[in-house]
Structure 1
Amino acid sequence: MAKFKYSAHLKQSDVSAFDNGWLPGQSPPNSGIYRCKNCGDEIVVPRGTAIPTNHHEHIVLGPVIWQLLVFAQEHPK
């Protein structure tokens, strides 16, 4: 489970980006922390980078499906 110390730096949001499931090898549009929907493992995926295909696999729990848990917001320059 992701943890944080300073809640002033986090904001709850209901944007649809949190609803998608991503498979290993896919490149999600948001940099952030992704959580496996079936086992709870968490990984960091930078924007434009494919989710690792060799991170882990499940035998009994079902497929590895990653869901965005926290995304990094970039400010316009």
Structure 2
Amino acid sequence: MAMFKNESHLWQSTCDAFEDEHLPGAVALWTGLYACQECNHEIASNEGDLLPPANHHRHASPEAIRWKLIVYADQRAKEF
């Protein structure tokens, strides 16, 4: 689970981007932390980079891997 020490560096958002699930190997639409919806494994990814492939970490079913943005990290946050 993502952690933080100083909440003044984070603000809560209701943006739909946090609801979207992404397949392994898909292009990351946002810079930030993504969590696997099957096991909660977290990764950091930059906008435009590929999210990790299905063989990045083990699951009983690789098809179950879906990445979801959990923390958006960008200096343009106010435009998000």
TM-score (norm 1): 0.88
Give the 3-state SS of the residue equivalent to 1:8 in structure 2.
helix
**Aligned to 2:60, what secondary structure does the other structure show?**
coil
Percent identity at matched positions?
38
Report the RMSD for the aligned CA atoms in angstroms: 1.9
Q: Give the length in aligned residue pairs.
A: 76
Q: Which runs of 4+ in 1 moved over 2 A?
A: 73-76
Give me the TM-score of the superposition, normalised by structure 2: 0.85
Aligned to 1:33: 33
Q: Is the 8 A contact 1:38 1:65 kept in 2?
A: yes
Gaps of 5+ in 1: none
Could you tell me which residue of structure 2 aligns to residue 14 of structure 1? 14
Secondary structure at the counterpart of residue 18 of structure 2? helix
Do the aligned partners of 1:31 and 1:72 also contact (CA within 8 Å) in 2?
Answer: yes
Query: Does the 8 Å contact 1:38/1:62 carry over to 2?
Result: no
Structure 2: which 5+ residue stretches go unaligned?
Answer: none
